[in-house]
Structure 1
Amino acid sequence: MTDATTNLKLPPSGAPLPHSVCVLPFSPTAPEALSEAQKKVYLAPQLTLMWWKFKRHRLALASGIFLLVLYASILICEFLAPYDYQSRHVDFIRSPPQRVHLFHEGTFVGPFVYGRKYELDMNALRRTYTEDRTRVEPIRFFCRGDPYMFWGLIKGDRHLFCPAEGGTLFLLGTDRLGRDMLSRMIYGARISLTIGLIGITVSFTLGIIIGGLAGYYGGTFDLVVQRVIEIIQSLPHIPLWLALSAIMPPSWSPIAVYFTITLILGLMDWTGLARAVRSKLLSLRENDYVVAAQLMGASTPRIVFRHLVPGFMSHLIASATITIPTMILGETALSFLGLGLRPPITSWGVMLNEAQNINVVVLYPWLVFPVVPVIVVILAFNFLGDGLRDAADPY
């Protein structure tokens, strides 16, 4: 009898093996014993395996692509928006959304909107807008419109789409000052989306460093850190935000207020991650590879960040994808309550500040449209987090 894997001649079944023959068990991970297809799997690096597992989670993959497109769009929001976010149209205050049409009286015209005319309703004390079917206003593409400063550095006036000459294009309506809601939502995405990235950087830096050192050293340092975390978590957030909002001088520039709000959100959110990192490191620090690293003279930062933290990277990835939408919700809530960002800067929370009055929402429901991207982005981050967690988890 011959073993095909070792090419050795073996005695019949049941007969004892000669002492000079040593049969090794078949190892599927031995490179010489693998086919090309098996080598592609068994010898693939960790990141490649994570990508293969992540692609199988279709909802997470779609959410990741959506978020990438959304974050890429904030780089060119001046080009994507049909108007400047501060442009006012005093003749179209709180104008409802305009519908896009393709055919006019049975004839294909292309994307266009009908003109608007309004009348004053003296009983309701508000304007009543109606479509003017005699005015066909084609939508222009790659056109010149409101001038802007691209990222505050380069002058430009080119837009992806614009209204017809002398016409209007309010696809999501206008606010109380006659400003286009769609343009303001596009500009507001730059603030609302980046505040989560900067906030998570502050939160993760503090959480991993403080929680990692507390879990690795333990003792008095761990005791002090835990008491500080308990004090911070016991503080009521709304009164604290009120106090911090009152501290910020009204003379500060919008950029200073933006970074201050980001820092506040990061400082308030690091405690949960620090506790999770600390508890994980307490269970990992006694492993043999940690002792070996200590005996070899490795420094504490190297042991923590090189050997221990990668051991629960799947948890950190899931925490990051959950914390970013939490930051976005925090900024939206603060700005909605008037405690966060203030005009002239715009964000989704600042825009929702106009929808505080229920009577205004009933009369002008399009003012709550900024809540739609908030919901969609949070759902996308949650789906992405599920996919990344499953892909990074080796178990």
Structure 2
Amino acid sequence: MTAHSFITDDLESAPATSALATGTAPENMAAAGQWTLIWHKFRRNKVAVFAGSLILMLYFIGLFAEFLAPALPEASRPQFTYAPPQSISLFAPAEDGSSRFLPHVKGYTQSVDPESLRRTFVVDDALIVPIGFFVRGPEYKLWGLIPADLHLMGPLKATDTMYLMGSDKLGRDLLSRLIYGTRISMSIGLVGVLVSLCFGVTLGSLSGFYGGWVDMTIQRGIEIISSMPTIPLWLGLAAAIPITWSPLQVYFIITLIVSLFGWTGLAREVRGRFFALRSEDFVTAARLDGSRERRLIFRHILPSLTSHILAVVTLALPTMIVAETALSFLGIGLKAPVVSWGVLLQDAQNVRTIATAPWLLIWPAGAVVIAVLSFNFLGDGMRDAADPYES
């Protein structure tokens, strides 16, 4: 063996061990799998990666809402009605005039206008409310199963108050209610999309694979559903919910209403993809090999659409969240004692509340905007990563 052959062997073997690890040589990823290629393209989109991190954080907040919330969502103190937000300070003055490290918020002093009888709150620099992490507070049941009283953050004394995002008309902590509302609003979108996914993928696959009268029947049904005005129909269906139903029953029926008309677009896209793929060579080979129709659909054709379906589902999630928020805001969706972003926005729909307590509108609306934009950016990034013609 000559020296030239040794050099040639080294040049051929060296890139193979480092291409996937470094991620700096896309031309050496020809042997990588589909999901490896998608992940390699997706992680280069910094905006989509950041949006995905925000979404994971929102679901983490919703999953551990009881632990992360400093108070219970229904705990009220009428003497602190419409209390403004407090800010956290890390250092407090010591007795000798120096500063000491003491995380705290500054308390309120109240005054009543003798003419309008309106109560106003003024931040008192001399009133210090120490706060801490992993403190004992109101008891709760994590996920409704595990009794606990440990909170991530809260006042050290149970009698002290802390309103980092202000309070509502009943003196309830808006931060705690917003955290609890994250669980409902984010999960109802996820459950609604899963229901739409089942309808859309199943009916779209059958329509595109069989064609003929099956395709005609399914497509005419999709056209009838798509021609209906969604918002008035949502309003009518939501208004028909009996008032005697429990909050859990209302939650599932609202999820069904939101997802009832969200599957038609996905079904049409899946149908078009099936029309394009059902005559491909790999489908013909599987058919000649004796594969049944069900195996052809769910084992050979549908897996090739997984990345596209995942991107479409990601883009459909914000629509579900906005739909639930709109129904709850109009008062015909979820209602108290259930807490969601739409229920919180319902408390801020009059001009007087917006003028006296604008934080009741800013924080829930900001949460909806962040969630919707994050899902849109994530969906765009996943769609671009799953597109084989994108560089």
Q: Is the 8 A contact 2:193 2:259 kept in 1?
A: yes
Find out whether 1:269 has 2:257 as its counterpart. no
Q: Residue 86 of structure 2 aligns with which residue?
A: 98
The yes-or-no answer on 1:388 pairing with 2:382 is yes
Q: Distance in 1 between matches of 2:44 and 2:296?
A: 33
**Percent identity between the two aligned chains:** 48
Other-structure match for 2:106: 114
Offset at 1:278? 1.0
Question: CA, structure 1 residues 175+222, in 2 after alignment: closer, same or farther (shift >3 Å)?
Answer: same
Q: 2:312 aligns with which of 316, 319, 334?
A: 319
Give the aligned partner of residue 77 of structure 2: 89
CA RMSD in angstroms, aligned pairs only:
2.3
1:216 counterpart (209, 212, 218): 209
On the 8 A contact 2:193/2:316 being kept in 1, the answer is yes
Moved more, 48-57 or 269-278: 48-57
SS at match of 2:151: strand
- Counterpart residue type for residue 35 of structure 2: L
* Deviation (angstroms), 1:122: 4.2
Q: TM-score, normalised by structure 1?
A: 0.88
Deviation at 1:252, TM superposition (A): 0.9
Q: CA deviation at 1:303?
A: 1.5
Letter in 1 for 2:372: I
Answer yes or no: is the 8 Å Cα contact 2:87–2:105 preserved in 1.
yes
Moved more, 186-195 or 302-311: 302-311
8 Å contact 1:85–1:183 — kept in the other structure?
yes
Which residues in structure 2 correspond to 1:207-246 (within 5 Å)? 207-246=200-239
TM-score in terms of structure 2 length: 0.89
Contact kept, 8 Å, 2:327 with 2:342, in 1: the verdict is yes
Q: Contact 1:293/1:303 (CA < 8 Å) preserved in 2?
A: yes
Q: Tell me if 1:70 matches 2:62.
A: no
Q: Is residue 2:31 matched to residue 1:37?
A: no
Residue identity matched to 1:327: M
Task: Specify the code of the residue in structure 2 equivalent to 1:310.
Answer: P
Stretch of structure 1 that moved more, 302-311 or 229-238: 302-311
Question: Could you tell me which residue of structure 1 aligns to residue 139 of structure 2?
Answer: 147
- 1:1-395 correspondence runs (5 A): 34-38=12-16, 40=19, 41-104=29-92, 107-165=99-157, 166-368=159-361, 369-395=363-389
Seen in structure 2, the aligned counterparts of structure 1 residues 302 and 32 have a Cα distance that, compared at 3 Å, is farther
Looking at structure 2, the residues matched to 101 and 274 of structure 1 have their Cα atoms a distance apart, in angstroms, of: 53
Q: Is the 8 A contact 2:315 2:380 kept in 1?
A: no
Q: Offset at 1:138? A: 1.2
Assess if the C-alpha contact under 8 Å between 1:241 and 1:339 holds in 2: no
Cα displacement (A) at 1:125: 4.2
For 1:302 and 1:326, locate their aligned partners in 2 and report how far apart those are by CA, in whole Å.
Answer: 32
Whole-angstrom CA distance in 1 between matches of 2:221 and 2:286: 30
Q: Which runs of 5+ in 2 are unaligned?
A: 20-28
Aligned length: 371
Distance, in Å, in 1 between the alignment partners of 2:320 and 2:111 is: 43
Aligned residues of 1:313 and 1:392 also touching (Cα < 8 A): no
Between the aligned partners of 1:233 and 1:122, the Cα distance in structure 2 is 58
Counterparts of 1:103 and 1:124, CA distance in 2: 37
> Counterpart of 2:70 in structure 1: which amino acid?
P
Q: Is the 8 A contact 1:147 1:157 kept in 2?
A: yes
CA distance, structure 1, for counterparts of residue 49 and residue 215 of structure 2 = 39
Q: Secondary structure at the match of 2:170?
A: coil
Please tell me whether Structure 1 or Structure 2 has the larger radius of gyration of its CA atoms.
1
Residue 187 of structure 1 and its aligned partner are, at CA, apart by: 0.6
8 Å CA contact retained: 2:76, 2:171:
yes
- 1:61-112 per-residue CA deviation (whole Å, 9 max, x = no partner) reads 1222222222123221111110001100111011110122233456234321
Native 8 Å contact 2:135 2:153 kept in 1: yes
- Which 5+ residue runs of structure 1 have no aligned equivalent? 8-30
Could you list the per-position Cα deviations for residues 189-222 of structure 1 after superposition, in whole angstroms to 9, with x for gaps in the alignment? 1111111111111001100100110111111111
